[in-house]
């Protein structure tokens, strides 16, 4: 039997290996960034090895690039071809959820990893297709990064790049250089960019800005997505003195509401007045007062606050008149021009994609005439054939703009339309339904108000929303009277917002039916 070799002392040169992984979304230029880093390290007297997984995975999917380097001693080192959990020194994440993925995979550890991550989001398809709000919580990733990383360099590198007219790879390189995680001089990075030869000026500008931001050290950790609440109430409107005086009276009335309600009421009031007119604002406040009168301080005016929000949304429904009005507002072209980065001497052409259906046309007619036609399928088909087809309107042109402008001017006519009657009826049913819960179950009344969120979109989407609203309403009838009725109402609504077809809602309804008896009639 041969003698046992004693455990050899660990090779101190191993500590010289720097392991760097780049996690990106396909198309972000991870390959270019890898090439730059490799060039910098080689110029800095290091032996370097880079690998990647190219191919189909680059098509907008999550991708990973991996680099190892060590001071060049003349003898080739043996480098690994992929990162290992707990064994990464620098992790560059080109997007917030990719940073999250890196943390999940164990590539970011408190003992060694410098995490350089851009806080911007490139949404995954699964986040976008949810009918409600499916956006993943970046704050959770941010919190995890704070625990997992030894050092954190985090800011919106996509914005830095865009502001410099460049792409994110240059900003990521700047953040890496500025973080000083690698001991190479700034000039070496800039030389690598210059040697690349493409979009050099923009890349250098993005590099420089990101370098400074990273070098400044840990920025005050701003929450990744500030909650959209608690913003200042909008400034008052502008307009003719007579209109303004009438507005001030309404606004004062809204401001006089209990404090938790007042701010939402101010916004709601502005929304419905903008949608129609001051008289419509009066109706809004009347509806709201009716709710406030039955509410109290005991529950913090939650019911009234939700009513202020959802009554406004219900009153400012989406019809042809509103769309045409919004598309012919004075500031719109300037806003589009700014968004498109229109420069002096350039011309902007804007095409609108409109598709009115027979329902929209008939909805514009006087309520009785409209209802008469809506009951006749043959008439509806004829109207559909005559008017209901895709129309592309060049709204920068005088004719198309004029047409939209005329449609937008039908606001005065709106109250007589079939659509308006439908909307008013639905609104009243919904609001009464909510208030009917009040004597027995305050929390349930609040949830019924919130169900208004389910109704949105146009045509088929709108119809699906209405159907979900009805199914949730029917589901609520099953749980009414139970102590957890409000909780179930919330769960049903959240399920309805999860997928288009309503599969999650069907599941939730099946659960409700499994334990709830058939409805025992309306509330007392």
Partner 1 sequence: MAERSFIDEVAQLRLGEGQTFTGEGILAITKALLENGVGYVGGYQGAPISHLMDVLADAEELMAELGIRFEANASEAAAAAMLAASVHYPIRGAITFKGAVGVNVASDALANLASSGVRGGALVIVGEDYGEGSSIMQERSHPFAMKSQFWLMDPRPNLPSIVKAVGDGFELSEASNTPVMLMVRIRSCHVTGRFATRVNRRPPLTVREALANPQRDFARVVLPPMSYVHEQEKVKHRWPAAERFIAARGLNERFGPAAGRVGIVLQGGMYNGVVRALQRLGLADLHGGTAVPLYVLNVTYPLLASEFLAWAEGKKAVLVVEEGQPEFIEQQLAAFLYRADAQVRLHGKGVFPMAGEYTGQVMFDAVTAFLRQAAPELLPAAARAPNTPGPAIPDLSRTVPVRPPGFCTGCPERPIFAAMKLVENDLGRHQISADIGCHLFGALPPFEIGGQTMGYGLGPASNAAFDGGGARRAVSFIGDGGFWHNGLTSSVGNMVFNKADTLTIVVDNHYSAATGGQDILSSRAASATKSTRHPIAKAVKGIGVSWVRQVDRTYDVARLRDTIREALTTPRKGPKVIVASSECMLNRERREKPLRLKAIAEGRRIEAPRFGVDEDVCTGDHACMRLSGCPSLGLKRLDDPLRDDPVAHVDRSCVGCGNCGEIAEAAVLCPSFYEARVVHNPGGWERRLAGWRARVRGWLASRRARRRLDFGATA
Residues 48-67 touching partner 1, rule: CB under 8 A, are 48-64
**Is the alpha carbon torsion for 479, 499, 138, 107 positive or negative?**
positive
Number of chain residues interacting with partner 1 (CB under 8 A): 161
CB of 190 to partner 1, least distance (A): 21
Q: Among residue numbers 164 through 223, which ones bind partner 1 (CB under 8 A)?
A: none
Report if residue 410 touches partner 1, rule: CB under 8 A: no
Report if residue 363 touches partner 1, rule: CB under 8 A: no
- DSSP code, position 316: S
CB of 524 to partner 1, least distance (A): 31
- Nearer to partner 1 by Cβ, of 350 and 436: the residue is 350
Q: Please identify which residue in 217, 409, 439, 519 interacts with partner 1, judged by CB under 8 A.
A: 409
Report if residue 330 touches partner 1, rule: CB under 8 A: yes
Q: Among residue numbers 213 through 252, which ones bind partner 1 (CB under 8 A)?
A: 225, 228-229, 231, 234-235, 237-240, 243-244, 247
CB of 487 to partner 1, least distance (A): 19
CB of 8 to partner 1, least distance (A): 5
Q: Among residue numbers 373 through 392, which ones bind partner 1 (CB under 8 A)?
A: 390, 392
Taking CA atoms, 305 is separated from 181, 247, 289, in Å, by: 50, 21, 11
Q: Please identify which residue in 20, 92, 94, 97 interacts with partner 1, judged by CB under 8 A.
A: 97
Report if residue 8 touches partner 1, rule: CB under 8 A: yes
CB of 341 to partner 1, least distance (A): 8
Report if residue 259 touches partner 1, rule: CB under 8 A: no
Characterize 347-385 residue by residue with b for buried, 16 or more Cβ atoms within 10 angstroms of its Cβ, and e for exposed. eeebebebebbbbbbbbbbebeebeebbeeeeebeebbe
Q: Please identify which residue in 252, 256, 398, 510 interacts with partner 1, judged by CB under 8 A.
A: 398
CB of 275 to partner 1, least distance (A): 8
Q: Among residue numbers 265 through 324, which ones bind partner 1 (CB under 8 A)?
A: 267-268, 270-271, 273-275, 277-278, 309, 312-313, 318, 322-323
CB of 33 to partner 1, least distance (A): 14
Report if residue 143 touches partner 1, rule: CB under 8 A: yes
CB 107 within 8 A of CB 85: yes
Length, in residues, of the chain: 524
Q: The tokens of 473 are what? A: 């309403």
Taking CA atoms, 224 is separated from 139, 221, 228, 238, 423, in Å, by: 6, 8, 12, 34, 38
- Residues linked to residue 391 through DSSP beta bridges, in sequence order: 354
Q: Among residue numbers 18 through 37, which ones bind partner 1 (CB under 8 A)?
A: 25-27
CB of 208 to partner 1, least distance (A): 21
Can you give the three-state secondary structure of 276-329, one letter per residue? CCHHHHHHHHHHHHHHHHCCCHHHCCHHHHHHHHHHHHHHCCCCHHHHHHHCCC
Q: Please identify which residue in 245, 256, 259, 353 interacts with partner 1, judged by CB under 8 A.
A: 353
9's CB contacts (< 8 A; 6+ apart) are none
DSSP string, 209-228: HHHHHHHT-SPP---SS--S
CA–CA dist 289, 168 (Å, integer): 52
Q: Of 290-298, 460-468, 473-481, 502-510, which segment contacts partner 1 by CB under 8 A?
A: 460-468
Q: Which is it for strands 90-93 and 18-25: parallel, antiparallel or unpaired? A: parallel
Q: The tokens of 159 are what? A: 């914005």
Q: Among residue numbers 110 through 129, which ones bind partner 1 (CB under 8 A)?
A: 110-111, 121-129
Site track for partner 1 across 438-457, x = CB under 8 A:
---------------x--xx
Nearest CA to 304 among 358, 254, 338?
A: 254
**Ramachandran region of residue 244, left (φ > 0), alpha (ψ -120 to 50) or beta?**
alpha
Nearest CA to 166 among 257, 32, 41, 283?
A: 32
Q: Please identify which residue in 44, 132, 260, 523 interacts with partner 1, judged by CB under 8 A.
A: 132
Report if residue 490 touches partner 1, rule: CB under 8 A: no
Q: Please identify which residue in 220, 241, 341, 518 interacts with partner 1, judged by CB under 8 A.
A: 341
- DSSP code, position 65: E
- Nearer to partner 1 by Cβ, of 286 and 339: the residue is 339
**Is the alpha carbon torsion for 318, 319, 320, 324 positive or negative?**
negative
């Amino acid at each position: 039997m041969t003698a046992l070799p004693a455990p050899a002392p660990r090779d101190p040169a191993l500590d010289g290996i720097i392991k760097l992984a780049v996690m990106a979304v396909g198309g972000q230029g991870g390959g270019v960034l890898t090439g730059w880093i490799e060039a910098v390290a080689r110029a800095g007297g290091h032996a370097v090895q880079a690998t990647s997984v190219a191919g189909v995975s680059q098509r907008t999917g999550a991708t990973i690039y991996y680099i190892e380097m060590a001071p060049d001693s003349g003898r080739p080192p043996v480098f690994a071809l992929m990162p290992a959990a707990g064994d990464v020194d620098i992790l560059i994440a080109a997007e917030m959820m990719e940073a999250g993925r890196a943390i999940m995979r164990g590539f970011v550890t408190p003992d060694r990893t410098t995490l350089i991550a851009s806080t911007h989001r490139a949404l995954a398809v699964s986040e976008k297709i949810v009918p409600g709000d499916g956006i993943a919580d970046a704050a959770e990733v941010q919190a995890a990064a704070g625990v997992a990383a030894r050092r954190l360099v985090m800011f919106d590198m996509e914005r830095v790049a865009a502001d410099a007219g460049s792409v994110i790879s240059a900003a990521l390189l700047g953040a890496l250089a500025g973080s000083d995680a690698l001991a190479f001089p700034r000039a070496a990075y800039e030389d690598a960019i210059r040697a690349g030869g493409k979009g050099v000026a923009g890349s250098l500008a993005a590099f420089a800005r990101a370098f400074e931001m990273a070098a400044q050290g840990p920025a005050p950790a701003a929450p990744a997505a500030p909650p959209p609440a608690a913003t200042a109430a909008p400034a008052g409107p502008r307009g003719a003195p007579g209109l303004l005086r009438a507005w001030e009276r309404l606004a004062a009335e809204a401001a006089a509401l209990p404090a938790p309600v007042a701010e939402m009421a101010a916004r709601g009031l502005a929304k419905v007045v903008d949608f129609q007119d001051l008289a419509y604002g009066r109706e809004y406040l009347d509806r709201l007062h009716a709710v406030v009168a039955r509410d109290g301080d005991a529950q913090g005016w939650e019911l009234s606050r939700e009513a202020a929000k959802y009554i406004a949304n219900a009153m400012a429904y989406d019809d042809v008149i509103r769309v045409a009005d919004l598309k012919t507002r004075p500031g719109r072209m300037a806003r589009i021009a700014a968004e498109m980065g229109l420069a002096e001497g350039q011309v902007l052409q804007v095409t609108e994609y409109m598709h009115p259906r027979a329902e929209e046309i008939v909805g514009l007619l006087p309520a009785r005439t409209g209802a008469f036609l809506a009951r006749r399928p043959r008439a509806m088909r004829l109207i559909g054939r005559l008017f209901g087809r895709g129309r592309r309107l060049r709204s920068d042109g005088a004719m198309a703009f004029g047409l939209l402008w005329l449609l937008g001017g039908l606001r005065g006519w709106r109250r007589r339309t079939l659509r308006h009657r439908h909307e008013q009826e639905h609104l009243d049913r919904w609001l009464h339904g909510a208030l009917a819960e009040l004597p027995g179950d305050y929390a349930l009344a609040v949830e019924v108000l919130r169900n208004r969120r389910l109704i949105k979109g146009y045509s088929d989407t709108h119809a699906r929303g209405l159907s979900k609203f009805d199914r949730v309403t029917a589901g609520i009838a099953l749980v009414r009277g139970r102590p957890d009725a409000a909780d179930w109402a919330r769960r049903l609504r959240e399920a309805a917002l999860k997928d288009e077809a309503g599969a999650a809602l069907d599941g939730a309804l099946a659960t409700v039916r499994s334990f709830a008896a058939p409805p025992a009639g309306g509330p007392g």
